[in-house]
């Protein structure tokens, strides 16, 4: 029987006469490989940035930085397998890409700065990641019970916030690789980003079938080729990379366990689990397989188990990558096996540095142009969810308004929480986490506690004038 095309509507595909949800579809090998590579291209910069930053902070050589980067690619692939394929009660079995969470970069560099002997910095970080991962694994089923507090007004706000929070990343990429360089934000860089964006839009508008679905990948290829005459495309990493490499277990030393580092990374784990919960709810809406409590618990187990095992192969804490949600939303390719194939490419890159360097050739401005489409698609999905959230009700409008405002604070005013302790800023500087918590709390206050249920049916506009006080009877 011929394999089915990816579904683009709510109707499930059929296999051997039985309905198959698009999430569980198995596409032809070529399409699976191309779509999986597209996921890798969309998230590659996010995976390699944390090891480059942390590696530089601990004083690694160029060769050791390459080794650390490949190790993080390898562990990201393993974590993606756990999330998409899964086993037992581990893995959301949704098209989720996992990789190094950026939330841990600041705490890990702080840990590195606090260690007197820099050769002990990575072992101390690895020890903290192991403990945080193990504790998170056992806390997953309890943490997942929070899903009951995520009605559409909350999930829509969070999904919108995820997209809005990612857009500055795309804008930063579009301006160039180095914010301190004189050509940062130059017309050349912005032109390359715009060219990539236009190519993606034209392919989405004027092509059909699978070409339309891999428009982002094709846009990255075209943008990279266009960048060559401008000297922006650097093929140096390909020429110097090794063909074969393996992330030797405990290459930088056995884990060391320091209480301060453990507490810091445990806070990061809570932030990561909160964001992963929001991501799973968002993706569940997009693929039309809502993430229930069991799915979220399984997904969080995959995140935390992947994090606990990652230091064995010299990787860092793993979490779901929100940018790939936008790719699923735009392409409508919802098969988890496509993302699992992307995980296979990540493992291959970890074992073959020259393969990893091929993706590194894509200039940052080209990634930025594609990112505008990807991340904007996430925000658009959130708006679609909000459309079903009953925004004609005054309470819900206020919930959305305040939660989005709180979540955007770290984007609009990056130094807003500068007076708070470092540990608190780990949470507060994550707009997704603060916006999510705000939406949950306000939903409880306005729609559940006290007179919330009594007033739920009142339809007003938050900007309408209040009751005429002169018309009230005198007391």
Taking a C-beta distance cutoff of 8 angstroms, is the pair 1, 18 a contact?
A: no
> Which of helix, strand or coil describes residue 27?
coil
Average pLDDT per run of 10 along the chain, which is 475 residues long? 42 57 86 86 73 74 76 90 89 86 72 76 90 92 79 81 79 85 89 93 82 78 90 74 76 85 79 80 84 89 92 87 77 87 88 72 84 79 79 86 91 87 74 82 84 47 38 43
| Residue 210: CB atoms within 10 Å | 18
With 0-12 CB in 10 A as exposed, 13-18 as middle and 19+ as buried, what is 361?
A: middle
> Which pLDDT score is estimated for 146?
73
Angle at 292 between CA 289 and CA 293, to 5 degrees: 160
> Which pLDDT score is estimated for 193?
93
For 50, 185, 334, the CA distances from 355, given in Å and listed in that order, are: 19, 29, 26
> Which pLDDT score is estimated for 463?
38
> Which pLDDT score is estimated for 5?
43
> Which pLDDT score is estimated for 372?
86
Taking a C-beta distance cutoff of 8 angstroms, is the pair 403, 157 a contact?
A: yes
> Which pLDDT score is estimated for 451?
54
> Which pLDDT score is estimated for 471?
43
Taking a C-beta distance cutoff of 8 angstroms, is the pair 103, 271 a contact?
A: yes
Instruction: Extract the tokens encoding 441.
Output: 């709390």
Report the candidate in 225, 202, 213, 219 with the shortest Cα–Cα distance to residue 34: 213
Q: How far apart are CA 337 and CA 357, in angstroms?
A: 24
> Which pLDDT score is estimated for 179?
83
> Which pLDDT score is estimated for 17?
54
> Which pLDDT score is estimated for 8?
42
> Which pLDDT score is estimated for 426?
66
What is the per-residue DSSP string for 297-332? HHHHHHHHHHHHHGGGGT---EEE-THHHHHHHHH-
């Amino acid at each position: 029987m011929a394999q089915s095309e990816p579904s683009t509507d709510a109707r499930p595909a059929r296999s051997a006469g039985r309905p198959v949800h698009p999430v569980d579809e198995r596409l032809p090998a070529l399409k699976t490989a191309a779509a999986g590579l597209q996921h890798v291209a969309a998230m590659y910069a996010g995976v390699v940035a944390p090891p480059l930053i942390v590696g530089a902070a601990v004083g690694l050589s160029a060769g050791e930085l390459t080794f650390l980067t490949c190790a993080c690619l390898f562990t990201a692939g393993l974590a993606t397998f756990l999330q998409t394929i899964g086993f037992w009660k581990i893995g959301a079995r949704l098209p989720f890409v996992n990789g190094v969470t950026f939330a841990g970069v600041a705490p890990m560099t702080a840990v590195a700065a606090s260690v007197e002997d820099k050769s002990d910095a990575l072992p101390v970080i690895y020890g903290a990641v192991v403990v945080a991962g193990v504790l998170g694994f056992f806390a997953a089923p309890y943490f997942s019970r929070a899903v009951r507090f995520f009605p559409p007004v909350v999930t829509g706000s969070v999904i919108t916030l995820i997209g809005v929070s990612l857009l500055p990343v795309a804008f930063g990429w579009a301006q160039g690789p180095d914010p301190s360089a004189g050509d940062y934000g130059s017309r050349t860089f912005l032109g390359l980003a715009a060219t990539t964006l236009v190519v993606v839009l034209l392919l989405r508008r004027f092509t059909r079938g699978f070409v339309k679905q891999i428009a982002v990948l094709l846009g990255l290829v075209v943008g990279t080729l266009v960048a060559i005459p401008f000297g922006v495309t650097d093929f140096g990493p390909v020429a110097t990379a090794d063909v074969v490499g393996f992330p030797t277990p405990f290459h930088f030393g056995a884990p060391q366990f320091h209480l301060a580092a453990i507490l810091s990374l445990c806070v990061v784990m809570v932030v990561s689990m909160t964001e992963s919960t929001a991501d799973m709810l968002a993706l569940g809406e997009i693929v039309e397989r809502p993430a229930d409590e069991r799915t979220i618990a399984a997904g969080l187990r995959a995140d935390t188990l992947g994090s606990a095992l990652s230091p064995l192969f010299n990787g860092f804490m793993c979490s779901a990558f929100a940018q790939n949600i936008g790719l699923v939303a735009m392409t409508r390719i919802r098969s988890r096996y496509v993302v699992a194939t992307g995980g296979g490419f990540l493992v291959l890159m970890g074992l073959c540095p020259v393969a990893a360097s091929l993706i590194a050739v894509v200039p940052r401005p080209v990634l930025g142009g594609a990112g505008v489409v990807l991340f904007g698609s996430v925000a658009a999905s959130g708006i679609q969810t909000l459309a079903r959230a009953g925004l004609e009700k005054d309470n819900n409008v206020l919930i959305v308004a305040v939660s989005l405002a709180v979540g955007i604070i770290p984007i609009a005013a990056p130094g807003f929480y500068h007076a708070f302790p470092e540990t608190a800023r780990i949470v507060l500087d994550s707009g997704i986490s603060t916006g999510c918590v705000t939406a949950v709390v306000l939903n409880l206050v306005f729609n559940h506690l006290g007179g919330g249920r009594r007033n739920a049916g009142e339809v007003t506009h938050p900007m309408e004038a209040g009751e005429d006080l002169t018309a009230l009877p005198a007391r």
